[in-house]
Amino acid sequence: MPILNYQNKLILAPMVRVGSLPMRLLALHYGAEIVYSEEIIDWKLLNSVRQVNDVLGTIDFLDKTDGTVIFRTSKEEHDCVVLQLGTCDPNRALKVAKMVEEDVAGIDINMGCPKEFSIKGGMGAALLTNLPKAKEILKTLVESVKIPITCKIRVFENENDTLNLVKELVSTGIAAIGIHGRTRAERPQHPNRNGLIKFIAENINIPVIANGGSREIEKYSDIEKFKKECGVSSVMLARAAQGNCSIFRKQGILDLDTVICKYLEYAVNFDNSPNTTKYVIQNILKELQETPRGKKFLECQTLQQICEIWDLGDYCRKKELEFFERGMTCRRMITPDMFEPAKKRTKFEQFDDCKELRCAFIRVNYVKDTELPKSILLSWCLKNKIDDKPKYEIIHQGKLFRAILSLNGEKYTSSYWEKNKKYAEQGAALSCIYHLGLISKEKLIESGSVIK
């Protein structure tokens, strides 16, 4: 892997819930040269397991308890992706760095986040007033990890105080430093201290990455102006890129629909979370969410529904079928014991005598409560004068749930583990109404509830 060079670069800044793989690839597509992940807290990665996803062509770090994707990366960004880490402990930071150093081009320590969660945990901007700890974290990583280590900070009110802090951090051997030109207490409506960034850049000997200029950056030429005002060669964009990622294009900015469609292609190609995808598009649309199409978009709950709004429904459906046929383990197919060694695998004997179906309960498929699987089953029982009502037994393992439905001496279950009890019961009912012939497998496949 080539060593990452931070000189004269256009960079996608770390953004919570935005900086996942599809947005990073979109930024690279439009001209960014380095892309930062969203901040990931150290303990989340330490509670994850690394898996090669052959279907998507990605490296996935999955939560051991419920299979949630904590961090996903691909070969397309291998030489230019920086993982931003939230930490207050050098030992935890080092363990994470050793986990990911083969899969990312660099690691950045977040020393600028002003949010309460970070501050209370001793992370983010709290490290600015705990210099010994900040230096210990950076020095530990620099001395022990083969990829470049950087940090991102906010400034103090006083120029000299900021410069003294930066010089101390630079002394640890970091490869570059990102500087957001606002203090911990300031917010986007406050002016960015471009002159202070320039003062710092003139007095240290490593690359300075200027950040905080999104208020004054509306087109590509504004980036050059911001760069000159800050006296740096590299610029990091957050809000400007979040609003329209084609800001990185030298040829000019593109219309929002074009950008959204390209983003959705990446989201589909890499099985991005519908919630994350929706959040990103909301930040692109802004006030356009109030238009008729925007309001229709806000009602969407699945990736398929979102894609339909931008005429990519067929593309999404085709890719999802392709993934299923190639055997991809999607989020709903996580089991409590899938990350354990074979000899430790738990045997769930409760399911052995059940009629099972590989089906997931997807709430958005049911417009009316009378259409819910449990409602359909109860109506069938009443119509057929069955006195014994369906009974549900919940099997709970960690953060995952499955249900066993008992009816007329038979037991039914869905093979999917759900993240709440209600969905687990609906999944078991879905399996039951299928086995009773009340719904066809074709209809279940069409709705995305069943994987063939």
Q: How far apart are CA 227 and CA 232, in angstroms?
A: 6
Looking at residue 346, its pLDDT comes to 54
Q: Which residue has the tokens 């959204």?
A: 260
Higher pLDDT, 124 or 342: 124
Of 124-128, 249-253, 300-304, 342-346, the poorest mean pLDDT is in 342-346
Higher pLDDT, 346 or 431: 431
Q: How far apart are CA 8 and CA 232, in angstroms?
A: 8
Higher pLDDT, 100 or 367: 100
Q: How far apart are CA 286 and CA 110, in angstroms?
A: 27
Q: What is the dihedral of CA 168, 185, 231, 123, to 10 degrees?
A: 40
Query: Strands of 48-53's sheet, edge to edge?
Result: 48-53, 58-63, 69-74
337-447: CATH architecture: 2-Layer Sandwich (3.30)
Coarse DSSP helix, strand, coil percentages of the chain, rounded to the nearest 5 percent? 45, 20, 35
Q: How far apart are CA 260 and CA 136, in angstroms?
A: 42
Tell me the mean pLDDT in the region 258-286: 96
Of 55-69, 246-260, 273-287, 334-348, the poorest mean pLDDT is in 334-348
Looking at residue 126, its pLDDT comes to 96
Kindly give, in sequence order, each residue whose CB lies less than 8 Å from that of residue 318, ignoring residues fewer than 6 positions away: none
- 3-state SS record for 94-124: HHHHHHHCCCCCEEEEEECCCCHHHHHCCCH
What share of the chain has pLDDT > 90, as a percent? 77
Q: Is the predicted pLDDT of residue 373 greater than 50, yes or no?
A: yes
What is the domain partition of the chain in residue ranges? 10-254, 257-329, 337-447
Looking at residue 364, its pLDDT comes to 65
Tell me the mean pLDDT in the region 306-334: 80
pLDDT band of 325, cuts 50, 70, 90: confident
Looking at residue 329, its pLDDT comes to 54
Looking at residue 19, its pLDDT comes to 97
Most confident of the ranges 115-124, 227-236, 323-332, 361-370: 227-236
> Residue 398 — φ and ψ, nearest 5°?
60, -125
Looking at residue 343, its pLDDT comes to 45
Active-site residue identified among 80, 88, 113, 307 = 113
432 is catalytic: no
Looking at residue 341, its pLDDT comes to 53
Q: How far apart are CA 111 and CA 125, in angstroms?
A: 5
Of 32-41, 56-65, 245-254, 343-352, the poorest mean pLDDT is in 343-352
What are the tokens at 342?
């074979």
Tell me the mean pLDDT in the region 371-381: 95
Tell me the mean pLDDT in the region 373-384: 95
- 93 class by beta-carbon count within 10 Å (0-12 exposed, 13-18 middle, 19+ buried): buried
Q: Is the predicted pLDDT of residue 53 greater than 60, yes or no?
A: yes
For the whole model, what pTM was predicted?
0.85
Domain 10-254: which topology? TIM Barrel (3.20.20)
pLDDT digits 0-9 by tens, 164-175: 999 999 999 999
Strands 81-86 and 40-41: what pairing? parallel
pLDDT band of 333, cuts 50, 70, 90: low
Contacts by residues 345-350 (CB-CB < 8 Å, ≥ 24 positions apart): 346/397, 348/395, 350/393, 350/395, 350/404
Tell me the angle at which helices 421-435 and 373-383 cross, rounded to the nearest 10 degrees. 50
Q: Is the predicted pLDDT of residue 187 greater than 80, yes or no?
A: yes
Tell me the mean pLDDT in the region 48-76: 92
Residue type, 328: M
Looking at residue 49, its pLDDT comes to 92
pLDDT digits 0-9 by tens, 86-139: 999 999 999 999 999 999 999 999 999 988 889 999 999 999 999 999 999 999
Higher pLDDT, 45 or 63: 45
Q: Is the predicted pLDDT of residue 286 greater than 80, yes or no?
A: yes
pLDDT band of 332, cuts 50, 70, 90: low
Please count the other Cβ atoms lying within 10 Å of the Cβ belonging to residue 359.
28
